[in-house]
């Protein structure tokens, strides 16, 4: 399937669309003439040369910037006086949620917001779920799933629907992953990977898929992780690449006890690697120095001490504190190693 066909709605969806944005027509035209990367850049320049005034067009343009990783341009636009205030504020919140050191969670503020525009209402619901996920409350989509689906079906512009549907598929991946349905989660991950998404999003999806494959074997997990690292390196996403090398790579390696040549500057994963290598004293020294333990860290310490009650407690914490039924399997797997 060609790039321009990916963003075109299905014949049935097209019947339900009441309009198309001028951006959709422009972008579709560029995709028919150029490779996707060039079409994206051409469309970006088009938007910046004549930014629209109507709210419908502004929303589609801001979503285009976000989904194609033009975050600096989006940040400037959301602060402009000619942007619809409701739409601009919602995208400012979304950009803030991406910050590396998130000092604020916008959940309470988002709960007080209400939108009538179909696209903003759908985006608002997704953003609520993102805020819950930032707090590691992974059961949030259970509450909003039907509402999100209904809101998505009300989006009546093809490019906005395409991008919001991508977001929805991504949420479904996380939902099925954290509810420990890794087979269904993987299907949604591959659907995302095979659509027209930015390299940043594709790299992160391969990364999360690698974690989703953790209990399916070392090779399955590492195949996706190496693909994530390859894409990140190719496109210069060096900070993300460094995080993967220092956290996810040693985490997967340590769990599967495949640690030869693996090192990290992250103290928690240093403890995890020591655990995999049988150096229980070092694991305990590192973890006892921490002011408090996450469920992951409690699992490591429980195995290092041979403490079955600690591992059982970690299991319950994963479920009751985070609603994370997937990683709740970790302390159960470590129980079998005692």
Predicted pLDDT at 15 = 61
Flag whether 230 is in a domain: yes
Burial of 82 (0-12, 13-18, 19+ CB in 10 A): exposed
According to DSSP, residue 10 is labeled P
The rounded radius of gyration (Å) of the Cα atoms in the chain is 22
Statement to judge: residues 289 and 254 lie in one domain: no
Provide the pLDDT for residue 1.
46
Global confidence as pTM: 0.91
pLDDT of residue 49: 92
Which of 237, 260, 283 is the last residue before a domain boundary? 260
The span from the CA of 308 to the CA of 229, in Å, is 36
Identify the domain containing residue 308 by its residue range. 266-337
Please name the residue ranges forming H helices in 34-157. Answer: 36-49, 55-67, 71-78, 85-97, 107-111, 118-134, 140-153
Whether residue 273 is found in the same domain as residue 256? no
* Measured distance CA(27)–CA(157) in Å, rounded: 14
The answer to whether residue 286 sits within a structural domain is yes
Quick one: which of 178, 294, 189 has its CA closest to 247? 294
Q: Which of 260, 281, 300 is the last residue of a domain?
A: 260
Q: Which residue intervals of 289-328 are DSSP H helices?
A: 295-305, 308-322
- Of the CA atoms within 13 Å of residue 314, those in its CB half-sphere come to 27
Q: How many residues make up the chain in this entry? A: 338
Specify if 333 maps to a domain: yes
Considering the domain architecture, whether residues 272 and 331 belong to the same structural domain is answered as yes
> Is position 8 within any domain?
no
pLDDT tens, 28-61? Answer: 999 999 998 999 999 999 999 989 999 999 999 9
Q: Is residue 323 part of a domain?
A: yes
Q: Is-contact 286 273, C-beta < 8 A?
A: no
Query: Could you tell me if residue 93 is inside a domain?
Result: no
Q: Are residues 249 and 209 in the same domain?
A: yes
In a shared domain, residues 254 and 302? no
Let me know if residue 81 belongs to a domain.
no
Q: How many domains does the chain have?
A: 2
Which stretches of the chain drop beneath a pLDDT of 50? Answer: 1
What pLDDT score was predicted for residue 9?
65
In a domain? residue 308:
yes
């Amino acid at each position: 399937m060609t790039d321009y066909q990916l963003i075109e709605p299905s014949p049935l969806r097209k019947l339900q669309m009441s309009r198309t944005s001028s951006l959709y027509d422009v972008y579709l035209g560029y995709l028919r003439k150029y490779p996707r990367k060039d079409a994206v850049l051409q469309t970006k320049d088009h938007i910046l040369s004549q930014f629209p005034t109507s709210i419908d067009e502004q929303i589609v343009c801001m979503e285009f910037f976000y989904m194609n990783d033009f975050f600096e341009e989006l940040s400037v636009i959301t602060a402009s006086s000619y942007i619809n205030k409701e739409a601009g504020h919602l995208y400012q919140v979304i950009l803030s949620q991406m910050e590396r050191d998130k000092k604020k969670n916008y959940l309470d503020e988002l709960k007080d917001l209400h939108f009538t525009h179909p696209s903003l209402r759908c985006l608002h619901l997704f953003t609520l779920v993102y805020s819950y996920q930032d707090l590691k409350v992974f059961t949030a989509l259970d509450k909003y799933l039907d509402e999100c689906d209904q809101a998505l079906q009300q989006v009546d512009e093809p490019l906005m629907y395409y991008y919001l549907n991508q977001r929805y598929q991504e949420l479904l991946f996380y939902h099925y992953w954290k509810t420990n349905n890794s087979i269904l989660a993987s299907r949604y991950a591959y659907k995302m990977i095979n659509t027209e998404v930015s390299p940043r999003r594709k790299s992160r999806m391969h990364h999360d898929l690698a974690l989703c494959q953790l209990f399916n074997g070392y090779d399955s997990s590492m195949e996706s992780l190496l693909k994530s690292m390859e894409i990140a390196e190719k496109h210069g996403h060096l900070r993300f690449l460094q995080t993967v090398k220092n956290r996810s790579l040693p985490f997967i390696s340590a769990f599967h006890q495949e640690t030869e040549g693996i090192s990290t500057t992250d103290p928690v994963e240093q403890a995890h690697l020591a655990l995999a290598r049988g150096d229980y004293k070092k694991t305990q020294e590192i973890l006892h120095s921490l002011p408090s333990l996450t469920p992951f860290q409690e699992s490591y310490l429980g195995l290092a001490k041979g403490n079955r009650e600690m591992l059982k407690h970690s299991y319950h914490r994963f479920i009751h504190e985070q609603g994370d039924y997937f990683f709740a399997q970790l302390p159960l797997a470590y129980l079998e190693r005692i």
